Amino acid sequence: MSRIDQLFGSLDRPAFIAYLVAGYPDFETSLSASGALIDAGADILEIGVPFSDPLADGPTIQRAHQSALEGGMTQNGVFNLVKEVRRDYTTPVVLLAYANHLIARGISRFYEDAAAAGVDGVLVVDMPPEECEEARLNAEKNAIDQIFIIAPTTRDHRRDMILQKSAGFLYLVSVLGVTGVRHRLSPETLAFVRDLRSHTPVPLAVGFGISSPDHVMPLAGAGADAVIVGSGIVDIIGRSIAGQPSAHDELAAFARDMREACNNCSKMNRS
């Protein structure tokens, strides 16, 4: 059983998944931010592997990818970041990558190096389920959960294919479009979560636009097992570039608020 499976099996509340971009704004800051998020209550740390063309991401995370690359962050740097996190924490770590990362490094080597660093799960944003078999088998070989993304527009036959191949959890896109902070949840998003909940026991993690503790209760009530916050966290981390000493404290406070919202949504209290 993977660390991700153990986590979801042990929780009676939604998990809080915190996302950041490796190397943004620099290696040490992303390492410090990783520790701050975990210490403040993040249940899973999701690390974005910087990419030159992150089409699934909105402006905030796109800028972070570009900044990290300009600062010299590489795949080796990402794996070194995970190793540093793993020295102090057993918290599950998931890499969010693009297919070019796997192709450039070689699929088998990517997963071998990820496992050696201490990675628990990999989500390849632009890898369709029809073309995932080599990656999925290498993930399985290295005891890594291959995580898939599913959107409201995913057709039933592709949804069923994804459900058969998924491990760890499913990443649900809450809205159409790219990542970014949004201030309200639509009824369509909650209906999407409820519908998918009826088709699978695999944990459901909702991302894209989740930015507030107020989002947690409705999603939990619809059947979500986790919430993923990305742009809101990356935005706070980015303030350290401007030399704002309060950015670290703000990050920790935000993470604590998200975790508290999750704590207030035990499975027994979900409507």
| Among candidate residues 162, 168, 108, the one with its CA nearest the CA of residue 144 | 168
pLDDT of residue 150: 94
pLDDT of residue 209: 79
pLDDT of residue 245: 63
**Can 257 be counted among the known catalytic residues?**
no
The domain defined by 3-8+15-264 folds into TIM Barrel (3.20.20)
Average the pLDDT over 155-176 and give the result: 90
Catalytic residue among 5, 12, 39, 46: 46
Catalytic residue among 57, 120, 145, 235: 57
Average the pLDDT over 199-223 and give the result: 92
Assign 9 a pLDDT band (cuts: 50, 70, 90).
very high
Q: What are the residue boundaries of the structural domains of the chain, listed by start?
A: 3-8+15-264
pLDDT of residue 244: 63
Portion of the chain with pLDDT greater than 70, in percent: 93
**Can 84 be counted among the known catalytic residues?**
no
Tell the residue number behind the tokens 């027994």, with chain if given: 268
Indicate the average pLDDT of the chain.
91
Kindly tell me if the per-residue pLDDT of 223 is higher than 70: yes
